[in-house]
């Protein structure tokens, strides 16, 4: 093994991460390795990762990093490092190590599978497709050819996904049956959505539906053509925006005709506020959430925020499997940290959000930016304010394509036969529509 005392990275880029590590900023040091990771010397990277793992007590990652630093061209050390990086959320560092193993051992299916796993966790589905198609003659049907279809879908290559799916036999191992059913539903949703929308690499609403069965209500009118493609980044919510989301929810319910008889209130304050407003907008009674209630709209402001409420784990588990006639609506859904349950209807996608009743940034009388106080008024009072707000679309920056109500209704009409089917599994990928994210 190498001497920890004497070895420092030689690469200037990696040395900068090492010096950041010396200040105690372990996350910052590891983030610095993300940019250009596939061009960095692997033995230098292993030094940084090994030290970070040692200081955080991650023993298997430390051992794998030390083995690679000692033998940077050894296939077993490369594979061990790549595997440990995938397991500990450092897939971007696993990719170059595993790619090098595959170069040294062409056609090794265990390496192909682990490299595909790393690409998937990084959202690099086109790269996963490339690896799998290069080795297609040696692939097993399950999981390999299934993964080819999956990654073709996630990269937006519908023709390839349909072609390979058509010749993929049903699995003989029962453990793969749920995956087969999910893939069938995704392709059925794609066929339905294609009747009303283009499903190109800017079609956020279309692909959000294909991936998880979610009907997206609002396309962000800011930064569309400079990286956001319909998602919000940092977003200060408002009563107006809450009402616009509820108006789109009503249009969805009217067009799809699930006929709910109540609104179900989840236990967190934000969801109760929005749920009370939804009950007024939809003209339905509001009741506390009950897992077995049929024909109801369950309203969440933000399922990630709801996850911090009492008894949330049990409730999320109950929402995973749908009840007949139950519609789960989430107002603000985090696209960079997807919630444990995927909603049937989402008003908007965000990276960072402040609810209207949270402490928000504002400009004071002196022109300085300050953080205002949270709104601690009773929930019903805030809900009444939402109902009386203005649901008109935000004019935005003028560069976002129009999203008229008629187009939304046409989309809902097209996907109606495939909506509200299957479990509400967590989305593990943002799919083929890219958006800029901030770290």
Residue 428 domain flag = no
Whether 129 and 268 map to the same domain: the answer is no
Residues 6+ apart with CB under 8 A from 254: none
Whether 244 and 354 map to the same domain: the answer is yes
Whether 80 and 216 map to the same domain: the answer is no
| Greatest C-alpha distance within the chain | 71
Note the pLDDT of residue 2. Answer: 43
Whether 227 and 94 map to the same domain: the answer is no
Note the pLDDT of residue 3. Answer: 45
Residue 180 domain flag = no
Note the pLDDT of residue 419. Answer: 98
> What is the number of domains present in the chain?
2
What is the arithmetic mean of pLDDT over 191-217?
A: 97
Note the pLDDT of residue 1. Answer: 43
Whether 203 and 122 map to the same domain: the answer is no
Residue 390 domain flag = yes
Of 155, 177, 211, the position where a domain reaches its end is 155
Whether 120 and 220 map to the same domain: the answer is no
Backbone angles phi, psi at 393, to 5 degrees: -60, 145
Whether 216 and 264 map to the same domain: the answer is yes
Whether 283 and 390 map to the same domain: the answer is yes
Looking up residue 367, the CATH number of its domain turns out to be: 3.40.50.2020
Whether 110 and 252 map to the same domain: the answer is no
Q: What would the pLDDT profile of 329-353 be if each residue is shown by its tens digit?
A: 999 999 999 999 999 999 999 999 9
Note the pLDDT of residue 310. Answer: 86
Residue 7 domain flag = no
Note the pLDDT of residue 439. Answer: 67
Angle, alpha carbons 318-316-209 (nearest 5°): 95
Distance from CA of residue 382 to its chain's centroid? 30
Residues 6+ apart with CB under 8 A from 284: 260, 261, 262, 263, 278, 297
Of 126, 155, 184, the position where a domain reaches its end is 155
Looking up residue 34, the CATH number of its domain turns out to be: 1.25.40.10
Whether 317 and 386 map to the same domain: the answer is yes
Whether 211 and 143 map to the same domain: the answer is no
Are 142 and 157 in contact by the 8 Å Cβ rule? The answer is: no
What is the arithmetic mean of pLDDT over 239-243?
A: 98
Omega before residue 101 within 30° of 0, cis: no
Are 213 and 192 in contact by the 8 Å Cβ rule? The answer is: no
Nearest to 339 by CA among 329, 324, 325: 329
Q: How far apart are CA 176 and CA 409, in angstroms?
A: 36
Enter the tokens of residue 344: 């049937």
Residue 3 domain flag = no
Residues 6+ apart with CB under 8 A from 57: none
Q: What angle do helix axes 42-56 and 75-87 make, rounded to 10 degrees?
A: 50
Are 345 and 316 in contact by the 8 Å Cβ rule? The answer is: no
The least confident of 58-62, 244-248, 399-403 is 399-403
Are 251 and 408 in contact by the 8 Å Cβ rule? The answer is: yes
What is the arithmetic mean of pLDDT over 73-80?
A: 97
pLDDT band at 6 (very low <50, low <70, confident <90, very high): low
Of 155, 172, 204, the position where a domain reaches its end is 155
What is the arithmetic mean of pLDDT over 117-132?
A: 97
Whether 385 and 328 map to the same domain: the answer is yes
For strands 361-363 and 369-371, give the pairing. antiparallel
Q: How far apart are CA 65 and CA 369, in angstroms?
A: 45
Does residue 178 surpass a pLDDT of 50?
yes
Residue 143 domain flag = yes
Residues 6+ apart with CB under 8 A from 347: 216, 217, 218, 241, 242, 244, 245, 246, 248, 249, 329, 330, 331, 332
Three-state SS annotation for the chain: CCCCCCCCCCCHHHHHHHHHHHCCCHHHHHHHCCCCHHHCCHHHHHHHHHHHHHHHCCHHHHHHHHHHHHCCCCHHHHHHHHHHHHHCCCHHHHHHHHHHHHHHCCCCHHHHHHHHHHHHHCCCHHHHHHHHHHCHHHCCHHHHHHHHHHHHHHCCCHHHHHHHHHCCCCCCCHHHHHHHHHHHHHHHHHHHHCCCCCCCCCCHHHHHHHHHCCEECCCCCCCHHHCCCCCCCEEECCHHHHHHHHHHHHHHHHHHCCCCCEEEECCCHHHHHHHHHHHHHHCCCEEECCCCCCCEEEEECCHHHHCCCCCHHHHHHHHHCCCCCEEEEEEEEECCCCCCCCCCEEEEEECEEECCCCCCEEECCCCCEEECCCCCCCHHHHHHHHHCCCCCCCCCCCCCCCCCHHHHHHHHHHHHHHCCCCCCCCCCCCCCCCCCCCC
What is the arithmetic mean of pLDDT over 1-13?
A: 71
Residue 176 domain flag = no
What is the arithmetic mean of pLDDT over 357-383?
A: 88
Q: Residues of the chain with pLDDT > 70: what percent? A: 98
Kindly report the average pLDDT of the chain as a whole number. Answer: 95
Using alpha carbons, list the distances in angstroms from residue 2 to 6, 18, 47, 182, 426.
8, 16, 9, 47, 42
The least confident of 45-49, 114-118, 308-312, 418-422 is 308-312
Q: How far apart are CA 125 and CA 156, in angstroms?
A: 9
What is the arithmetic mean of pLDDT over 251-270?
A: 96
pLDDT band at 155 (very low <50, low <70, confident <90, very high): very high
Q: Residue 360's domain spans which residues?
A: 193-418
For strands 352-354 and 234-236, give the pairing. parallel
Residue 429 domain flag = no
């Amino acid at each position: 093994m190498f001497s920890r005392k004497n070895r420092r990275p030689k690469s200037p880029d990696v040395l900068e991460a090492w010096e950041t590590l010396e200040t105690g900023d372990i996350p910052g040091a590891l983030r610095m390795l993300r940019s250009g990771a596939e061009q960095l010397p692997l033995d230098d990277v292993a030094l940084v990762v090994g030290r970070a793992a040692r200081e955080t007590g991650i023993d298997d990652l430390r051992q794998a990093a030390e083995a690679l630093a000692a033998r940077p061209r050894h296939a077993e050390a490369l594979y061990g490092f790549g595997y440990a990086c995938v397991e500990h959320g450092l897939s971007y560092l696993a990719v170059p190590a595993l790619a090098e193993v595959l170069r040294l051992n062409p056609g090794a299916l265990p390496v192909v599978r682990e490299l595909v796993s790393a690409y998937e966790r990084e959202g690099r589905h086109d790269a996963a497709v490339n690896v799998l198609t290069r080795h297609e003659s040696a692939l097993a049907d399950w999981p390999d050819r299934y993964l080819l279809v999956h990654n073709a879908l996630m990269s937006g290559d519908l023709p390839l996904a349909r072609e390979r799916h058509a010749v993929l036999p049903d699995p003989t191992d029962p453990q793969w049956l749920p995956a087969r059913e999910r893939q069938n539903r995704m392709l059925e949703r794609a066929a339905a959505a294609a009747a009303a929308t283009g499903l190109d690499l800017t079609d956020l609403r279309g692909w959000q539906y294909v991936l998880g069965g979610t009907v997206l209500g609002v396309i962000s009118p800011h930064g569309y053509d400079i990286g956001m493609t319909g998602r919000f980044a940092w977003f200060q919510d408002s009563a107006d925006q809450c009402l616009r989301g509820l108006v789109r929810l009503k249009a969805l319910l009217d067009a799809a005709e699930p006929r709910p008889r109540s609104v179900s209130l989840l236990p967190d304050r934000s969801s109760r506020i929005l749920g009370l407003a939804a009950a007024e907008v939809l003209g339905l009674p509001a009741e506390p959430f009950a897992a077995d209630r049929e024909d109801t709209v369950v309203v969440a402001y933000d399922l990630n925020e709801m996850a911090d409420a009492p008894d949330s784990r049990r409730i999320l588990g109950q929402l995973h499997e749908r009840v007949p006639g139950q519609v789960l609506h989430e107002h603000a859904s985090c696209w960079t940290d997807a919630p444990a349950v995927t909603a049937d209807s989402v008003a908007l996608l965000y990276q960072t959000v402040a609810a209207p009743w949270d402490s928000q940034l504002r400009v004071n009388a002196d022109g300085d930016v300050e953080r205002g106080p949270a709104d601690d008024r009773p929930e019903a009072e805030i809900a009444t304010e939402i109902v009386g707000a203005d649901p008109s679309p935000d004019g935005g920056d003028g560069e976002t394509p129009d999203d008229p109500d008629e187009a939304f209704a046409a989309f809902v009409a097209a996907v109606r036969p495939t909506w509200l089917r299957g479990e509400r599994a967590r989305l593990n990928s943002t799919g083929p529509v890219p958006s800029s994210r901030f770290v």
